[in-house]
Each structure stands twice: as structure tokens, then as C-alpha cells.
Chains A and B, each alone.
Chain A
Amino acid sequence: DVKVTQSSRYLVKRTGEKVFLECVQDMDHENMFWYRQDPGLGLRLIYFSYDVKMKEKGDIPEGYSVSREKKERFSLILESASTNQTSMYLCASSFATMDRVFGYTFGSGTRLTVV
């Protein structure tokens, strides 16, 4: 089975801190994604990457950046954490043919609290 592993299950950080959320997948998937999940808003895409060193903004990229130096690892960076970034963060990976997305797999999530 594909595994998507997020480095922390729960995280508490202070306002203004730089925060790194790490995600690793073990099935050689090209695509990796970072989402945040908030009550009443559902899952929203922050950034995604379709190849090493390639990235594209999702729907809510403000306040975030990402890094993909190796195919298996996709990092989400909060440059200066703020309280409105308190949320559940989910990483996912997939592979895609010309017309279909396959094997969409999610990590267990990181619940980040910014105080």
C-alpha cells in the first residue's frame, strides 16, 4: 500500500515562528499536495507539485511556501505563523495519466495550533 507519512500529528507553535510541515510518500508518485481542512470550509488546496522542484499555487497559497527537492518529500513552510493558520493540514500524493488521476492517498494529517 502507498503510504503518505506526515512528520507530526500535533504541533503547537508561537505566532511569528517559522514552521515546517514534512510529508513523505513511498510509491514514487509524481504529484504531491498540501491541503488545509477547516470546519465549514472543507478541504482547500494550498500548493501542489507535479515534479521535483516544480510547484503551483492552489486556492489559498498566501502565507505559505513549499519545497520539493526530492520526489518523495514535499514540505510546507509557514514563513511567519499566525493564529489564522491554526488548522488541520493534510498532505496527499497521486499519479496521473493524460486523462485520469490515480492512487490519491492522504496522510493522517497534522493538527497545527498557533498561539
Chain B
Amino acid sequence: KNEVEQSPQNLTAQEGEFITINCSYSVGISALHWLQQHPGGGIVSLFMLSSGKKKHGRLIATINIQEKHSSLHITASHPRDSAVYICANSGGSNYKLTFGKGTLLTVNP
């Protein structure tokens, strides 16, 4: 069974801090996704990656296939980064994603 675990569940940071959110999964993947959901908002896809590292602005996602682990980093965090961050992988399925329960990030000014 494909399981996806995220840590931490909750994270509070001061503006400007470097943030890391971790994701571990149990079944080998074809791709891992990082998603963002602002309070009361819809879900936006941030990254899809199957190896190495991807960067978009202040966001960086890395993945280690051998260790079945991915991290999402936010540099120079800002209050507008406050959201729930969710990782998900396909666990070998062509269709379905399995989701972690999410990490609630709060960035205080």
C-alpha cells in the first residue's frame, strides 16, 4: 500500500526564515507532486519531479529516489507563503495520487 508521510504537521516561522517541509513515501514513484492550498482556497500545483531538484522563485523541491524522500524548501519566507503544503505521489499508478495529510505553515511578520 502506498503511504505518504509529511513532517512537520504544523510549522510556524518568522518572516525571512528558511523553511523545510519533508515528505517520505513507501512505494516507488513515477513522479512526486508538491501542492499549495491557501486558507479557504483551492489547490495549486507547485512542482512535479521525478529526480534531482526543481526551483521556482523562492521555492525549491528536491527528491532522493533511493531514500524515497522529498523536501520542499522556501527561502526568505514571507507571510503570503502561509498555506497548507501537500505532497503526493502516484506510487506506480498511471492515474491516481496518494496524498500526505499536509503541513500547515504560518509565517509571521
Which residues from chain A sit less than 8 Å from chain B, CB to CB? Answer: 31, 33, 40-43, 45, 48, 50, 58, 90, 94, 96-102, 104-109
Complex CA gap A107/B42 in Å reads 7
Out of B35, B94, B101, B102, name the residue touching A106 (CB < 8 Å): B35
Which residue of A41, A42, A48, A105 is within 8 Å of B95 (Cβ)? A48
A104 cross-chain contacts in B, Cβ below 8 A:
33, 45, 48, 97
Are B96 and A43 within 8 A (Cβ)?
no
A96, B95: Cβ atoms under 8 Å? Answer: yes
Decide if A106 touches B33 in the complex (CB within 8 Å): no
Cross-chain contact of B100 among A42, A94, A106, A108 (Cβ < 8 A): A42
Q: How far is the CB of B30 from chain A (nearest CB, A)?
A: 5
* CB neighbours of A58 from chain B (8 A): 96
CB pair A109–B95 under 8 Å, yes or no, is no
CB distance from B66 to the nearest CB of A (A): 18
**If A99-B30, A100-B30 touch, does A50 touch B95 (CB 8 Å cutoff)?**
yes
Chain B CB within 10 Å — which of A48, A96, A101 has the most? Answer: A101
For this complex, 29 residue pairs linking A to B, each with C-beta atoms less than 8 Å apart, are A33-B96, A40-B101, A42-B86, A42-B100, A42-B101, A42-B102, A43-B86, A43-B99, A45-B96, A45-B97, A48-B96, A50-B95, A90-B42, A94-B95, A99-B30, A100-B90, A101-B30, A101-B31, A101-B90, A101-B94, A102-B48, A104-B45, A104-B48, A106-B35, A106-B42, A106-B44, A106-B45, A107-B42, A109-B41
Complex Cα gap A37–B44 (Å): 14
12 extra A-B contacts, CB within 8 A, seeds A43-B86, A108-B41: A41-B101, A50-B95, A58-B96, A100-B30, A100-B50, A101-B90, A102-B48, A104-B33, A104-B45, A105-B45, A106-B43, A109-B42
